Structure 1
Amino acid sequence: MMRLHKRREMHLNLQPTNIIGFKMKMILLIGALIIAIILVIGFFTGHFISETMEAQVGDRALSVAESVAHIPELAEAFRQEDPPSAINALVTPIQQATKAEFIVVGNRKEIRYAHPDNDKIGKKMVGEDNERALAYGESYVSKAVGSLGSSVRAKVPVYLDGEIVGVVSVGYLVNDIQSIIQSSTSHIWIVLVNIAVVAVIGAILIASYIKKVLLGLEPKEIAYLLFQKETILQSTHEGIIAVNQNGMITMLNFAAQRLLFDQVIPSRQYEGKPLKDLAPSQQLLNLLHDENERIDQEMMIGKTIVFVNKAPIYAENSFIGTVFTFRNKTEIDLLTKELKSVKQYTNALRAQTHEFSNKLYTILGLLQLDKKEEAIRYIQRESSLQKNWIHLLIQKVSDPMVSGLLLGKLNQASELGIEFTIQEDSRLTTHLNEMQSEALLTAIGNLIDNAMDAVKNNSPADKKIALYFTDIGNDIIFEIDDAGEGVPDQHITSVFQQGFTTKEGEHGGFGLALTKQIIEEVNGDLYLEEGDLGGASFVLSIPKDLEERGDSNA
C-alpha cells in the first residue's frame, strides 16, 4: 500500500538554487502587483475627485450666478444714480449665504458695481473672460486669475429690457478647492495604504501556504523531479497504469501502452478515460474494485500472460487512486525455457539414474541368490524396453527436440509408476521449423504434465497415459489420453479460459490457456474430447505449412 506523507523539511540538492527563494519571489511579486494596483487606483481616484470637485464647484457657482442675475431689483439697480450701493446691498447677503468666495457684478464696460473688497468697486474687472457673457449673452464656467487669485467662476449676463447691461461673476478660489480635494484624497490614500498592508500580509500567508503544499521545494526542483519521474516511468520495462479514485486513467507508460495496444499512442487517447474502456481483461477491472493490495496476480491481457501488482494510493488517509504494474510473464518464460529444457533433461537423467540403480540392485540380488538365468532374462527385458523406446522415437520422430522431450517424459512416467504408452502407428517425419518446434515442445510438455497430475493419485493399475501422433495429411496431430477423472461436462466450455482451474491453490488456470494461445499462434487448434482411458483426451493440431491457415487468424 502506497501512502504519501508531507514532510516539512526536504533537503534536496537536485539543481542549483537561486539566492532569492520561491517564497520570497512570490511575496515580492504579489507585493509589487498590489502596490502597483494601489498606486493606479490612488492616482485615478485623486484625479477623478479633482475633476469631479471642480465640476461640482463650477455648477454651484453657475447656479448662484444665474440666481443673482435674474433678480429684478439687480437689473433695475443699473438705472439708478448710484448702482454700486443698491447692487452691493443685494449680493452681499447672497454671498454670505452661499459661502462663495466672491460675487462680482459689473456693467458692459466691465466696471465693478459689487465686490467683496469695497476698495475695488468702480474699478475694471480682472480676468478678461467676460466677453462671452457681455457680447454673446452666454452663461458659462471658466477658470482664471482675478483680483483675489486663481478661481473657478461662473459668468451670467444681466438683462434689462431685453438688452445686456452687465455681468454677474460668482467664484470659488482654486486654493480652497484644492484643500478640499487634498483632504478627501488623503483619507482615500490612508484606506488604500491599509489595504496594501493587509494585502502584503495576505501575500506572505499565501506564499507560506503554497511553499508548504509544495513540500518546501523550489519550482526548478519540482520541474526536475517531474522530468526525472517521467523519464523513470517511461524507461522502465514494467507496464504501469495509474487511475484516480473514480477509475479514470491518469498515467500510462510506454510499456503498458505496448502491452495494451502494441504501440505507443498519444496521451489524449487515454488520459481522463475510464479504465474499463481500455482494459482488455475483466480480471483487471475486478482488481480495480478490490480495495486490498495484490502482489503477482497472474492474468492474461490480450495474448500476453502477465504478473499484476496492485497498490492503492492514500494521501492523508484519503484514497486518491490505484497503481497497477505489469511484468510480462512471456519475457520471464524466455529465460525459463532454457532452464525448463535443462530441467527436463535433468529429470530424465535423474529418473534413469534412479531406475538404473534399482535395476542394478535387482540384478545384484538375483546374482547373490544364484539366479543367473533370471538375471540374464531381466537384463535382456530391460535392455529391450529401452532399446524399443529409443528405436521407436528415432524411427518415428524426426525432430530431435520432440524425441528428446518424449524420452524424458517416458522415463519420468516410469519413475512415477505411470504406464506411459506411445501407439505403434504414431509417426512425425515432417521437418519442423523453429516456431512449430517451440510450440509443440511447450504444448506437449504442458499436456503430458497435466496428464501425469491427473493420474498420480490413481491406483497403480489405473496410472495410464497414452500418446498418439501423426503427420499424415495436412496437419500434425497429437492426442494425449489419461485415465484421470476427466473434465466435468459443466466445465468443458471453460477449461481453456484464463484463470479457470479445477486444481487447488493459487495462480492456477493458465497452463491450458497458454497452451491454446501458443498453438493458435502457429495457426493450430487445441480441443478436448472424450478419452479412451476414461479420463480427458486433449487433441492438438498444427498445419504443416503455416501459410495454409493463415487467413483464419487474419
Structure 2
Amino acid sequence: MHIKLTKEYMNSMLKNMSFQWRVFLLLLVVFSLLLGALNKFMEYQLDNYLTEKVSEIAMNQAKIIASIDDVIEGVEQRNTEKLKKIADRLSMESNFSYLVIGDEKSVRLYHPNPEKIGYTMQWNKPGALERGESYIVSSEGSMGLALRAKTPIWDKNGQVIGVISLGYLNSKIDIWRSNQILPLTSALLLILFLLILLSWQFSTHIKKQMMGMEPLEIARVQRQQDALFGAVFEGLLAVDTQGKITAINQNAQKMLKLTGAPKHLVGRLVQDLITPADYFIDLSGTNRIDDLLIINGLKIIANRVGIWIDGEFQGWVISFRRHDEMNILSAQLTQIQQYVENLRTLRHEHLNWMSTIGGLLQLKEYDRALEMVKFESSNQQSLIDNISGMFKNRLIAGLLFGKYHRAKELGLDMVFIPGCSISSQPAPLTENELASILGNLLNNAFEATLKNPDSNKLIEFYISDEGEELVIEVSDNGIGIEPSIREKIFTRGVTSKSSSDHGIGLYLVKTYIDQYHGSITVDDNDPCGTVFSIFIPKDKGN
C-alpha cells in the first residue's frame, strides 16, 4: 500500500513538473548512471592492472633474490642468521610486504616472525617446487591476505635447494588502488558537476526555443494552427530562406494543383512545384500586397509577408486567391458602384428637368414644356443607341454610359472619337479587366482636367478591337504629369495626387497590359494634358 501511494505521488509530481525540470532531471539521471558505470568499469580495469603489475613485480623480485649468491649459500648451509640479515637488508631496500625463505621441502628457514621458522609454508602448489616452477598465489597466509610470488632457489649444479616466497599484502595494494581511484573519482565528480551545469543550460535553451511553452501547449498551438490553415479560404504557403516549403494548406494545394498530402509537400523545394518561383525565393525583396501573378498557369492575387525571428529573416508567408474570384467581386462592386453613380447623375439631371418643366407649366407654357420633354428624351435615346451600336459588350457599354454622364455632371465634355467599336468578347482581356483599365484611365483624366483652370474641359476617348490589336486611347486637357514621376507613374504607390490611398490604379492597368504582352505609352497632349495609348495584341494569351 505504501509503495503504491509513493508511486502515485511520484507520478503526480512528475506530471506537475515543468518540461524544463523534467529534461534536466532526465539528463542528470542519465549522466549519473553513465558516469557511475564508467567509474565501476575503470575501477575494475585498474584492479586488474594493479594485480597484473604487482604480480609481475613480485615475481621479478623473488627471482632476483633467489639468484643472490649469499641467499643460495645461506640456504645450502641452512644458516638462518645469515638469511635473516640478508632478508632484513632487502626489506629495507624494497617495497614488498614480506619475504619468506624455505628449503627444498618448503620448510621455513627465514620468516619475519621467528616463531614461524621450522614450519612448512602454506598454499604450496603440489609438485611445482620439484619441477622448478614459479607461480603466483593470492590467499590468506601466515602474514594475512596477500598476493605471493613463489620461485625455486637453484644451486650451482642446477638442483632445487629451496624456495622464495615474496608477498604484497592486499591492504597495501588497496592503498595503492585508493591512491589511483581517488583522483579518478574526483575527476568524474567534476565532470558530473559540469554536466549538471550543461544540462541546466540545455534545458533552459530548450525552453527558450519552445518560447516558454510546455509540450502540451505546443501540441495545442500546432493543432490550432492546422485548424486555422484549413479554415482560411485563401491559399497559404510558407517557405524558408532555402526555398523549402515549411507549411501549406489544402486550399493552396488545390489551387496550385499539387498532388499528395500537405505534410508530404513540406520540406520540398518550392521551385520544384511552382513555376515561376521567383516571388517565393526573393531574399532581397520586401513585403508585398495585392500582387498580380501567374503561377502554375493560374492567375492569382498574392500578399507576401516576411518571417522574422530574433531579428533574422527566416522566409516568407504568402497568401493568395484566384484572380477570377477577385474579378467576380470587382465586377459586382463595379456594377453596383456604376449603377449608384448613374442613378445619382440621372437623378440630378432629372431634378433639373423637373424644375424647369414645373416652371414652364406654372407659366402655362405647355408647348415649350412638351418640346423640352421630347428634346431630352430624343437626346437620351440617341446617346443610348450610339453607345449600344459602338460597344457590343454590355458591361463596357454601361461603364461608358455612366462615365459620359459623370463627365457631364462635372462640367466636362466626353467625346467618343469616330471609329470606336468593341465586340461582345473583348479579346484577349476579360470584360472585367478591360472595365478596370477604362475606369482607371477615365477617372484619372477627369481629375487631371478638373485641376487645370485653363482647360477646355474636353476628354477624348477611343477604343477598337477590329484589327490585330486592341487599341485604347484616352486624352485629357489636364495638368499633365510631372517629369519627376513620369518614368515611374506605373509603380505601385506612385501618384500625382495628394491623397495617400492612391497609386494603385495605373499599377493595375500596367499589370493587366503586361500579362497580355501589351504596351502603354504616355505622351503630352496639345495644348496641355496627357494622352495614354494602349496596344494589346489579340493573338497572344497570358
TM bucket by the smaller chain?
Answer: 0.7 to 0.9
Q: Deviations over 1:2-40 (max 9, x none)?
A: xxxxxxxxxxxxxxx946653553344233223323432
CA 1:46–1:481 in 2, change beyond 3 Å: closer, same or farther?
closer
**Deviation at 1:406?**
1.9
User: Is 1:103 aligned with 2:99?
Assistant: yes
Matched residue, 1:7: none
Matched residue, 1:412: 406
Alignment check: 8 A CA contact 1:62 1:141 kept? yes
User: Is 1:504 aligned with 2:522?
Assistant: no
In the alignment, the residues of structure 1 paired with residue 281 and residue 177 of structure 2 have an alpha-carbon distance, to the nearest angstrom, of 77
* Residue from 35, 52, 62 that aligns with 2:32: 35
Give 2:228's aligned amino acid.
I
Give 2:154's aligned amino acid.
Y
In the alignment, the residues of structure 2 paired with residue 460 and residue 369 of structure 1 have an alpha-carbon distance, to the nearest angstrom, of 39
User: Is 1:269 aligned with 2:265?
Assistant: no
User: Is 1:514 aligned with 2:511?
Assistant: no
CA 1:349–1:23 in 2, change beyond 3 Å: closer, same or farther?
closer
**Deviation at 1:173?**
5.7
CA 1:268–1:125 in 2, change beyond 3 Å: closer, same or farther?
same
Give 2:59's aligned amino acid.
L
Alignment check: 8 A CA contact 2:106 2:121 kept? yes
Q: Deviations over 1:167-219 (max 9, x none)?
A: 34233365534653675588579848965995797588558746864565432
Give 2:433's aligned amino acid.
A
In the alignment, the residues of structure 2 paired with residue 139 and residue 72 of structure 1 have an alpha-carbon distance, to the nearest angstrom, of 19
User: Is 1:449 aligned with 2:440?
Assistant: no
* Residue from 150, 159, 167 that aligns with 1:164: 159
Give 1:457's aligned amino acid.
K
Structure 1 residue runs of 5 or longer lacking an equivalent are 1-16, 272-276, 289-296
**Deviation at 1:421?**
1.9
What secondary structure is seen at the aligned counterpart in 1 of 2:343? Answer: helix
CA 1:382–1:534 in 2, change beyond 3 Å: closer, same or farther?
farther
State how 1:135-534 maps to structure 2 within 5 Å.
135-136=131-132, 141-144=136-139, 146-148=141-143, 150-172=145-167, 174-177=169-172, 180=175, 184=179, 187=182, 191=186, 198=193, 202=197, 205=200, 209=204, 213=208, 214=210, 217-229=213-225, 232=228, 236-237=232-233, 253-254=247-248, 267=267, 269=269, 278-279=278-279, 287=286, 298=289, 300=291, 302=293, 319-320=311-312, 334-368=328-362, 375=369, 377-428=371-422, 436-459=430-453, 462-487=456-481, 493-519=487-513, 521=515, 526-528=520-522, 531=525, 534=528
What secondary structure is seen at the aligned counterpart in 2 of 1:450? Answer: helix
What secondary structure is seen at the aligned counterpart in 2 of 1:77? Answer: helix
Alignment check: 8 A CA contact 2:23 2:203 kept? no
CA 1:266–1:54 in 2, change beyond 3 Å: closer, same or farther?
closer
Deviates more, 1:439-448 or 1:493-502: 493-502
Alignment check: 8 A CA contact 1:64 1:170 kept? no
**Deviation at 1:344?**
0.7
CA 1:501–1:327 in 2, change beyond 3 Å: closer, same or farther?
farther
Give 1:510's aligned amino acid.
I
Percent of residue pairs bearing the same amino acid type: 24
Compute the TM-score of the two structures, normalised by the length of structure 1. 0.73
Alignment check: 8 A CA contact 2:239 2:246 kept? no
Alignment check: 8 A CA contact 2:392 2:424 kept? yes
In the alignment, the residues of structure 1 paired with residue 327 and residue 186 of structure 2 have an alpha-carbon distance, to the nearest angstrom, of 77
CA 1:498–1:175 in 2, change beyond 3 Å: closer, same or farther?
closer
In the alignment, the residues of structure 2 paired with residue 397 and residue 99 of structure 1 have an alpha-carbon distance, to the nearest angstrom, of 121
Compute the TM-score of the two structures, normalised by the length of structure 2. 0.75
What secondary structure is seen at the aligned counterpart in 1 of 2:125? Answer: coil
Q: Deviations over 1:500-535 (max 9, x none)?
A: 332223243321232243355566554445556743
Matched residue, 1:536: 530
Alignment check: 8 A CA contact 2:428 2:540 kept? no
Matched residue, 1:549: 540
Q: Deviations over 1:99-141 (max 9, x none)?
A: 65542223334343323344544444433338556534x6554
Alignment check: 8 A CA contact 2:489 2:506 kept? yes
What secondary structure is seen at the aligned counterpart in 2 of 1:549? Answer: coil
Matched residue, 1:274: none
User: Is 1:91 aligned with 2:82?
Assistant: no
CA 1:44–1:521 in 2, change beyond 3 Å: closer, same or farther?
closer
**Deviation at 1:482?**
1.9
Structure 2 residue runs of 5 or longer lacking an equivalent are 1-13, 259-264, 272-276
Matched residue, 2:48: 51
In the alignment, the residues of structure 2 paired with residue 472 and residue 154 of structure 1 have an alpha-carbon distance, to the nearest angstrom, of 120
What secondary structure is seen at the aligned counterpart in 2 of 1:442? Answer: helix
In the alignment, the residues of structure 1 paired with residue 512 and residue 85 of structure 2 have an alpha-carbon distance, to the nearest angstrom, of 123
What secondary structure is seen at the aligned counterpart in 2 of 1:426? Answer: coil
Matched residue, 2:4: none
**Deviation at 1:463?**
0.9
**Deviation at 1:446?**
2.1
In the alignment, the residues of structure 1 paired with residue 514 and residue 92 of structure 2 have an alpha-carbon distance, to the nearest angstrom, of 113
What secondary structure is seen at the aligned counterpart in 2 of 1:358? Answer: helix
Alignment check: 8 A CA contact 2:102 2:121 kept? yes
In the alignment, the residues of structure 1 paired with residue 196 and residue 202 of structure 2 have an alpha-carbon distance, to the nearest angstrom, of 10
CA 1:218–1:106 in 2, change beyond 3 Å: closer, same or farther?
same
Alignment check: 8 A CA contact 1:446 1:515 kept? yes
In the alignment, the residues of structure 2 paired with residue 325 and residue 506 of structure 1 have an alpha-carbon distance, to the nearest angstrom, of 26
Q: How many equivalent residue pairs? A: 510
| Root mean square deviation, CA, Å | 4.6
**Deviation at 1:221?**
2.9
In the alignment, the residues of structure 2 paired with residue 339 and residue 417 of structure 1 have an alpha-carbon distance, to the nearest angstrom, of 26
Give 2:216's aligned amino acid.
K
Q: Deviations over 1:29-73 (max 9, x none)?
A: 233223323432332343244334434443443354344323322
Alignment check: 8 A CA contact 1:155 1:167 kept? no
